Amino acid sequence: MTTYTELSMRDWVIIVLLTLVAVTGLIWINYHFSVQNPGGNDFLARWMGTRKWLMEGVSPYDQSVSLATQEVIYGHPAELEKGEDVSHFIYPLTSMVFFAPFGLLEYLPARALWMTLLELSMMVLAIVSMRLVQWQPKPAWTVSLILFSLFWYHGIRTVIVGQFAAIEAVLITGALLLIMNKNDVEAGILLALATAKPQMSFLIIPFVLIWAYSRHRFSLIWSFAASLLGLFALSLVFIPTWPMQMMRQIMEYPDYTARIGSLTSILASAFPKLSTSLNIGLQIAFWVYLIVEWVVAWKKDSRWFLWTAMMTLVLTNFLTPRTATTNYVMLLPVLFLIFKILREQWGNVGNWLVGFMLALGLIGLWTLFLSTVQGNLEQPAMYVPLPVFSLFGLWWVRRWAIAPAPLPRDEELAEL
């Protein structure tokens, strides 16, 4: 088999040219999609805040920026009683590392490039997730998994609305892969960058740091701390008061996102008379369970660390005050870990089962969305299937995932 090091200069030139052609074609498709389908509201709010700051020197957290975004979306200031989003910037200023280049462009080309970046991120996420769980399927399976990551409901929605979640998922998964490979300095940098979307990283970062301390992986801790401090200090140079400005926007957040709360509140709503107490009970139960798993993982090896990290990603979506289906792209490595172990343990039956689950995830989620959507609003039912499946799936594969026996050799994995 030809390896990367055996490729000639001519081969590399062809690969680079084909890649450039493919990416250019993708940008062209996304631009025409943006022209014909106005939207991308999640990205629009971030683009508007970035552009106003870069071009006019207005803080992205200023009320005038939110109003400008509302005028573009609705043609008038947002009306909360109608459930309209006030479209605050609401991200940490450190996220400008990602948004600033796009704020220099007009909206349509910026959105097209952003969509392209998200699509590429979903592909990278699939590849990195396979490497993270040490799954090396045959090429046909690899292509199928990449296509699944692009076209499943949560991936498509992330791209169309322009959600940063795809990039955030790559940062988190990439950091976990680097940790597994003992590249702690680089992992710390990615974790610091992952603070750009705290609602996705607010649990995985503490767990990683606690586990790193227990294993004396201090370079990971110092790398994260130094990187985060550097980003924060640099952001304060530009807007010294931005943390307080962002906090004011966060305080307003529940006023216009109350339609969908936490995942536990959605589950509890199935029992209207007990919903409040049941929601509180579920929150407490999941918090206690998560802490117990963190304690159990103290000083454990990388296999135990990986399973606990996957469980932390799942429970993040149960415990965040306001869930979002776009954030579920972070669960792709969880699915791949479950699928990989199913195939290892059940052989051909596992192969068929994984294929069925992929088809069900692809077709079933889209069917559920189309049968429940009202206007352009997702309904609570869309928030339940994936995290619940991931939770029970991780419990089911736990004994194999954390087993002390070494993972199968590369050549054995290739035969699965």
- Give the tens place of pLDDT for each residue, 215-224: 999 999 999 9
Long-range pairs of 395-403 with CB within 8 A, sequence gap ≥ 24 = 396/338, 397/337, 397/338, 397/341, 397/342, 398/307, 400/341, 400/344, 400/345, 401/303, 401/306, 401/307, 401/337, 401/341, 402/300, 402/303, 402/304, 402/307, 403/303
Q: What are phi and psi of 377, to 5 degrees?
A: -100, 130
The pLDDT of residue 4 is 45
The pLDDT of residue 407 is 45
The pLDDT of residue 7 is 59
Q: What are phi and psi of 415, to 5 degrees?
A: -85, -10
* Cβ pair 65, 56 in contact under 8 A: no
The pLDDT of residue 2 is 46
The pLDDT of residue 82 is 74
Using DSSP, state whether 121 is helix, strand or coil: helix
Below-50 pLDDT ranges, the chain: 1-5, 407-416
Report which residue type is found at 295: V
Q: Can you give the pTM of this predicted structure?
A: 0.92
Query: Using CA atoms, how far apart are residues 141 and 32, in angstroms rounded to an integer?
Result: 31
The pLDDT of residue 255 is 59
Report pLDDT digits (tens) over 85-120.
Answer: 888 999 999 999 999 999 999 999 999 999 999 999
Query: Using CA atoms, how far apart are residues 370 and 89, in angstroms rounded to an integer?
Result: 29
- Which residue in the block uniquely carries the two structure tokens 């076209």? 151
DSSP lists the bridge partners of residue 374 as 377
- Token couple for 192: 């610091």
Distance of CA 3 to the CA centre of its chain: 31
The pLDDT of residue 286 is 97
The pLDDT of residue 322 is 84
- Token couple for 324: 């979002």
Q: Which residues of 202-225 are buried (b: 16+ CB within 10 A; e: fewer)?
A: ebbbebbbebbeebebeebbebbe
| Best CA proximity match to 407, nearest among 310, 301, 312 | 301
| Best CA proximity match to 246, nearest among 101, 62, 64 | 62
Query: Using CA atoms, how far apart are residues 109 and 155, in angstroms rounded to an integer?
Result: 21
